[in-house]
Amino acid sequence: MRVIIIGGSGHVGTYLVPRLVEAGHEVINVSRQARTPYQPHGAWKQVRQVAIDRTAAEAEGAFGAQIAALQPDAVIDMICFTLASAQQLVDALRGKVRHFLHCGTIWIHGPSVVVPTVETQPRRPFGEYGIQKAAIEAYLMAEAQRGDFPATALHPGHIVGPGWAPLNPAGHFNPQVFAQLARGEELALPNLGLETVHHVHADDVAQAFMQALAHWSTAIGEGFHVVSPTAVTLRGYAEAVASWFGQEAKLRYLPWETWRTTVSEEEARATWDHIAHSPNCSIDKARRLIGYQPRYTSLQAVYESVQWLIEHEGLLKP
C-alpha cells in the first residue's frame, strides 16, 4: 500500500516511518524541507521525500491536489492544525483514498471532569490549538460516519522520547527541573502538586497509527486516545524522578499566583496550560478496537528521554 505521511520526520514520524517500511508499505514523506529524524534508521533510505510548503500551497488552494496527485492509498496527516486545512485536504482526497488518519490531541477535551476521560465525553476545549483540533475531529468524524470519507483520528498525550526535552514535573519544558531533582535541590510546585499530566512515548503513538491502519474496519469513523496506561500527578512525577538519582524529592508547594512569579513567563504559560487541562485519559477503546498496547508507562518513557539528555546534552554537568 502506498502511504503518504505529511510531516513524517518529527517526533512520531521518527518511529512511524520505519514501522511502515518494515510492514512492506511504499512510503512517501511530505515535508517543507529535508529534516533528519530524531533517531537514525536504515528504513529511511527506502522513503521517497517530497518537498511541499504546506502553508504556501494551502494559500494557493493547491495542497490537497498536490497530495492527491501522489496517488496514495492511505494518508497520515501529522501536522494539520486548522479546520480549513483539513477541509481542503479532504475535498481533494474524497473518493481517492482507502484510509485517512489524522493526528489530533487529548487537548480536544479541555479540563478533565470524570476521569479517566473517555472519548465520548463532551468536548470543552479551550485555547486555539485545542479548539481547532476539536473542530477538525468533529468534521472528520461527521464525514466518515456519513460514509463520505474514511477518516480516523488519533489523539496523543504529551509525546516524549529520546532527542527532545519532555514535559517536566513542574508542567513546563525546562530540563533543568530534572537536574534540580537529580541533585536533591528543592523544587517548587504549583498548588498542591496534584494536577495530572499524561505522557506517551513517540513509538507507542507510532504503534497506534499502525494498529489503526491494520484494523481499518473498526478504526474508520472513530477517534482514539493514544497515551500511556496511566497519568501521573506532578508531585508523584517529581518524587519518581528524584528516586532515579537516589534522592528524596524536596518539594515546596505554592499558590498559583505566587508560584508563577518564580519562573519565566513562558514557563508559567506552559504550566498553566497543562494544569488547567490536567489530563487523565482512558485507552480502553483503543485497546478494544485496534489492539493498542503501549510498551511504556509515563515514567518509563520520561526516563528514556532524561537519560538521552544526560548522555547527549550534558544535563547534569555543572
Task: Record the cell numbers describing residue 186, joined without a space.
Answer: 528543592
- CA–centroid distance for 56 within its chain: 25
How far apart (Å, rounded) are the C-alpha atoms in residues 248 and 227? 28
* Statement: residue 41 has pLDDT above 80: yes
Contact criterion met (CB below 8 Å) for 53 and 31: no
pLDDT digits (tens, 9 = 90+) for 138-176: 999 999 999 989 999 999 999 999 999 999 999 999 999
How far apart (Å, rounded) are the C-alpha atoms in residues 42 and 273? 38
- Strands 99-103 and 151-156, how do they pair? parallel
Q: pLDDT grade, residue 8 (50/70/90)?
A: very high
Instruction: Sort 246 into a burial class: Cβ within 10 Å, 0-12 / 13-18 / 19+.
Output: exposed
For the chain, give every domain's residue range.
Answer: 2-159+200-226, 162-198+230-278+297-313
Q: What pLDDT score does 305 carry?
A: 98
- Model confidence, pTM: 0.97
Side chain identity, residue 182: A
Domain 162-198+230-278+297-313 listed as CATH 3.30.70.330 = no
CATH topology of domain 2-159+200-226: Rossmann fold (3.40.50)
How far apart (Å, rounded) are the C-alpha atoms in residues 118 and 89? 28
Strands (E), 55-130: 74-77, 99-103
How far apart (Å, rounded) are the C-alpha atoms in residues 311 and 293? 29
* Statement: residue 34 has pLDDT above 80: no
Average pLDDT, the chain: 97
* Statement: residue 89 has pLDDT above 80: yes
Least confident range of 36-40, 53-57, 266-270: 36-40
